Amino acid sequence: MEITVIVNGKKLVDSIEPDLLLIDFLRKHGCYSVKRGCETANCGLCTVFLDGIPVLSCSVPAARAAGHEVQTLEGLQEEASEFVGFIADQGADQCGFCNPGFVMNTIALLRENPDPTDDEIRAYLAGNLCRCSGYEGQLRGIRNYLEHKRSKEGIHGRNEV
């Protein structure tokens, strides 16, 4: 079957097998930030945006993306570059394997809730598996980024007096 998908702003037309997963379609087309982890939709490593909504590409048939827009980390570098350094500064990128999923879900979180509490951050990122950092580094990095952004803009967050 032939499908047309907009991937990171580029129109892709490809002939696929009906059972091809979106993760495999994306990797075939050079989107290597989309990683295979658990293959059971439990680790978050394969998170992409389908029409702006985060989905686990290991559980989405590529045919479902036909006629839709998919964004991967390759297409969101500018938005991601704002905060990834803050996560790295906290040592939260020890092996780096989970980073693309964390970054994708952090972008989704901040788009939905630009001033989350620590508990809201933890809840939103709960579906991301990280085997080496313990998650607190990611939380501190996101919190530091938000504090930096607020101080640069002269804004107080809900956690500040």
The mean pLDDT of 69-88, rounded to a whole number, is 91
Domains of the chain: which residue ranges?
2-75, 82-153
Q: Looking at the predicted structure, is the pLDDT value of residue 158 above 70?
A: no
- Confidence label for 11 from pLDDT (cuts 50, 70 and 90): very high
Predicted confidence band at 126 (pLDDT cuts at 50, 70, 90)? confident
Average pLDDT over residues 83-107: 82
Nearest to 147 by CA among 118, 119, 127: 118
Residue 134 has pLDDT above 50, yes or no: yes
Across residues 3-25, what is the average pLDDT? 97
pLDDT above 90 for 102: no
| Of the listed ranges 8-12, 89-93, 117-121, 149-153, the one predicted with least confidence | 89-93
Query: What's the topology of domain 2-75?
Result: Ubiquitin-like (UB roll) (3.10.20)
pLDDT band at residue 155 using 50, 70 and 90 as cut-offs:
low
Contacts of 117 (CB under 8 A, 6+ apart): 158, 159
Share of the chain above pLDDT 90, in %: 56
- Angle at which helices 118-125 and 99-112 cross, to 10°: 130
Given a cut of 60, whether residue 71 has pLDDT beyond it is yes
Alpha helices in 6-155 (DSSP H): 22-28, 77-81, 84-89, 99-112, 118-125, 136-153
Which superfamily is assigned to 82-153 in CATH? [2Fe-2S]-binding domain (1.10.150.120)
pLDDT confidence tier of residue 161, bands split at 50, 70 and 90 = very low
Q: Which of 19-23, 25-29, 83-87, 113-117 has the lowest mean pLDDT?
A: 83-87
Rounded Cα gap, residues 24 and 61, in angstroms: 9
Residue 70 burial class via C-beta count within 10 angstroms: exposed 0-12, middle 13-18, buried 19 and up: buried
